Chain A
């Protein structure tokens, strides 16, 4: 079932997962996951809710601990060693469904905090970088407001800028548009498309099939904790192989 589709964009491997298993208590959430993401590749992970796609992406930066198998991110293996974990986390940006901005800090402070404390960058330089990326996501004028004063779409774009400030080599997106109004979904997706065009390695859990078609190199379909099918977007949508995929696609593309 796990026949690997080779879509090598670059020979360098950004994320390598081999025989990875995870349990929540006695519940087997992820079963024998094998996945290689090459540098510069854009992967979309989709599947019904409870299929383990969010858990998979959260394992990549150790927000969830895996119990067996191997995860190598950016050349560093994820073990229980806290130094490795912190190193990987500072190289991997993560976006959340509920943005998770820090409500007690201004937009600018949200963007400079990790630069100053993790990267030890001087404040003036950190602020310059922050303004650069806030301009890139088109909200430099909100820099001195607090997250609570921004719309959902703006907050998610701030979250993208906050991650980019750390100059990550890989970006993970955990349903970044699921909590947004349709109008705001577009502004966030546009920002993500721009990011993809810049050559960022991206792993995106989303239900936005339009985005998958337009941006992804590869679409992965998961169900019951395992990878059921993966393929180029064109093949995946037009000619799904497994029955489970066909059923899923007919349901989400049906209306």
Chain B
């Protein structure tokens, strides 16, 4: 081995070393992201200055805010010329903002419990990993919530629930033979239950009764949540049925759905609300008075379901026809293939759209303030701002309303993003 010059043997292995300061951690990140070029550096400095000015400008307003005062004048006295917010209005009028100004204060616990139970009822619907038995409570919840919010005898929701349960039972029993037969028998049985149950509950108005609160006394954030929750939860299934109906091979069903969707989508929501408020009354017999809240809920549900139907239709159209064919070729019937194969996939595609529409609906519930209902915004515009004590405290009140809606809508949108990730099965 003469030509040993080319050979080389390492006797000591070099240990792993940390990169230079400029190439690790925060310094590296700042260099790469904030100061990678002169232009980038200028923009970074400029942005920091803008952020600083906003914070510096608004911070005193928050920090100097007055929380204890009985009127806006007292606020100014306490502030004594210093810039600052008058948060005292939020504190003093808190019950009005949340429950409206007519809901009996001794009964505030009822909406509170209803809201808490809403979270319990929603949990198994929103999170698939929770035990399915919890769904039983979700089914009972609407009836319980009605009793808690509106009060009256417990017989009303109990009869309503029993009629509903009997109708569903009959539908299940008979729809194995024919869907239409099951539907008709179910509706008839439920109606009979409700009719006779109605006499029963009318006769025993004090049985296990909570103080009755009429619909016109509902208000504040409670009213927004009430309208939003009911309209969204009813309109999602209704929208799905409309989307399926629009695809139907039966021309009459198809055209009913098309006309409904196109009409509702072509009309502004505020118009529909005015219709609910004023014109709808003309269509009912003179003696009946359908609750204004109910009328508004119906209109909002229609409005939302038309939009959801179009979103779901997009999801249905995005599925390759092979999925329908595979489901058919295995012998699944229409209802089964929709429920097990088509809708799970189509709805997964539609989640962002459905959430988008529903969040919009939740915020649009504030439009009812225009037809003189006292929701959160209605309360602020009417009973609070128009009093001499709190005249002119716009920023604090509307800022608070904005913050409340932001928290709710942001959590809904975060949930939908989480759900999308959960349902992701293909490794794209």
Chain A residues at the B interface, C-beta cutoff of 8 Å: 61, 63, 82, 86-87, 89-94, 96, 98, 100-104, 113-114, 117-118, 146-149, 162-163, 166
Residues of B within 8 A of A147 (CB): 426
- Extra pairs beyond A117-B332, A146-B427 (18, CB < 8 Å): A82-B333, A87-B331, A89-B331, A94-B326, A98-B320, A98-B322, A102-B323, A102-B341, A102-B345, A104-B425, A113-B332, A117-B340, A118-B332, A146-B425, A146-B426, A147-B426, A148-B425, A166-B330
Q: Does B428 contact A (CB under 8 A)?
A: yes
What is the minimal beta-carbon distance from B321 to any residue of chain A, in angstroms? 9
Residues of A within 8 A of B341 (CB): 102, 113
Task: Please determine whether A94 and B332 come into contact, CB atoms closer than 8 angstroms.
Answer: no
Q: Does B119 contact A (CB under 8 A)?
A: no
Residues of A within 8 A of B331 (CB): 86-87, 89-91, 114, 118, 166
Task: Please determine whether A104 and B344 come into contact, CB atoms closer than 8 angstroms.
Answer: yes
Q: Does B288 contact A (CB under 8 A)?
A: no
Which one of B322, B332, B340 lies within 8 Å of A100 (CB-CB)? B322
Q: Which residue of A lies closest to B334 (CB)?
A: A82
Task: Please determine whether B428 and A102 come into contact, CB atoms closer than 8 angstroms.
Answer: no
Q: Does B325 contact A (CB under 8 A)?
A: yes
* Residues of chain B from 84 to 118 with CB closer than 8 A to chain A in the complex: none
A93 CA / B330 CA spacing, docked (Å): 7
Residues of B within 8 A of A117 (CB): 332, 336, 340
The 5 A-B pairs of least Cβ separation, nearest first, read: A90-B331, A148-B426, A100-B326, A100-B322, A114-B330
What is the minimal beta-carbon distance from B345 to any residue of chain A, in angstroms? 5
Task: Please determine whether B330 and A103 come into contact, CB atoms closer than 8 angstroms.
Answer: no
What is the minimal beta-carbon distance from B274 to any residue of chain A, in angstroms? 43
Contact size class for B? 20 to 34
A123 CA / B110 CA spacing, docked (Å): 44
Q: Which residue of B lies closest to A89 (CB)?
A: B331
Task: Please determine whether A100 and B427 come into contact, CB atoms closer than 8 angstroms.
Answer: no
A223 CA / B15 CA spacing, docked (Å): 73
Residues of A within 8 A of B345 (CB): 102-104
A113 CA / B332 CA spacing, docked (Å): 9
What is the minimal beta-carbon distance from A165 to any residue of chain B, in angstroms? 9
Q: Does B329 contact A (CB under 8 A)?
A: yes
Task: Please determine whether B326 and A96 come into contact, CB atoms closer than 8 angstroms.
Answer: yes
Task: Please determine whether B320 and A104 come into contact, CB atoms closer than 8 angstroms.
Answer: no
What is the minimal beta-carbon distance from B334 to any residue of chain A, in angstroms? 8
Residues of B within 8 A of A103 (CB): 345, 425-426
Q: Kindly name the residue among B327, B331, B340, B427 whose own CB sees the greatest number of chain A CB atoms within 10 A.
A: B331
Residues of A within 8 A of B332 (CB): 113-114, 117-118
A35 CA / B401 CA spacing, docked (Å): 73
Task: Please determine whether B340 and A113 come into contact, CB atoms closer than 8 angstroms.
Answer: yes
A148 CA / B323 CA spacing, docked (Å): 14
Report the tally of A-B residue pairs with Cβ distances under 8 A. Answer: 72
Task: Please determine whether A148 and B326 come into contact, CB atoms closer than 8 angstroms.
Answer: no
A90 CA / B336 CA spacing, docked (Å): 14
Residues of B within 8 A of A92 (CB): 329
Residues of A within 8 A of B46 (CB): none
What is the minimal beta-carbon distance from A225 to any residue of chain B, in angstroms? 21
Q: Does B42 contact A (CB under 8 A)?
A: no
Q: Which residue of A lies closest to B319 (CB)?
A: A103
Which one of A94, A102, A113, A149 lies within 8 Å of B329 (CB-CB)? A94
Which one of B322, B348, B426 lies within 8 Å of A96 (CB-CB)? B322
Task: Please determine whether B427 and A149 come into contact, CB atoms closer than 8 angstroms.
Answer: yes
Q: Which residue of A lies closest to B333 (CB)?
A: A86
A228 CA / B341 CA spacing, docked (Å): 39
What is the minimal beta-carbon distance from A61 to any residue of chain B, in angstroms? 6
Residues of B within 8 A of A113 (CB): 330, 332, 340-341
A91 CA / B329 CA spacing, docked (Å): 9
What is the minimal beta-carbon distance from A196 to any residue of chain B, in angstroms? 20
A147 CA / B325 CA spacing, docked (Å): 17
Residues of A within 8 A of B51 (CB): none
What is the minimal beta-carbon distance from A94 to any residue of chain B, in angstroms? 4
Task: Please determine whether B328 and A89 come into contact, CB atoms closer than 8 angstroms.
Answer: yes
Residues of B within 8 A of A98 (CB): 320, 322
Residues of B within 8 A of A118 (CB): 330-332, 336
Task: Please determine whether B326 and A89 come into contact, CB atoms closer than 8 angstroms.
Answer: no
A102 CA / B323 CA spacing, docked (Å): 7
Sample of 16 A–B contacts (CB below 8 Å): A63-B329, A82-B333, A86-B333, A87-B331, A89-B330, A90-B330, A92-B329, A94-B325, A96-B325, A98-B322, A113-B341, A118-B331, A118-B332, A147-B426, A148-B428, A149-B427
Residues of B within 8 A of A63 (CB): 325, 328-329
Q: Which residue of A lies closest to B321 (CB)?
A: A100
Task: Please determine whether B329 and A89 come into contact, CB atoms closer than 8 angstroms.
Answer: yes
Residues of B within 8 A of A102 (CB): 323, 326-327, 341, 345
Q: Which residue of A lies closest to B345 (CB)?
A: A104
Q: Does B423 contact A (CB under 8 A)?
A: yes
A103 CA / B425 CA spacing, docked (Å): 7
What is the minimal beta-carbon distance from B199 to any residue of chain A, in angstroms? 42
What is the minimal beta-carbon distance from B380 to any residue of chain A, in angstroms? 45
Residues of B within 8 A of A104 (CB): 344-345, 348, 423, 425
Q: Which residue of B lies closest to A162 (CB)?
A: B330
Residues of A within 8 A of B344 (CB): 104
Write out, one digit per residue, whether chain B residues 401-428 have a CB within 8 A of any chain A CB (1) or not (0).
Answer: 0000000000000000000000101111
Write out, one digit per residue, whether chain B residues 301-345 have a CB within 8 A of any chain A CB (1) or not (0).
Answer: 000000000000000000010110111111111001000110011
A114 CA / B336 CA spacing, docked (Å): 9
A201 CA / B330 CA spacing, docked (Å): 17
Which one of A90, A101, A148, A166 lies within 8 Å of B427 (CB-CB)? A148
Instruction: Take A117-B340, A148-B425, A148-B427 as given contacts and tell me if A100 and B333 are in contact as well, using a CB distance cutoff of 8 Å.
Output: no
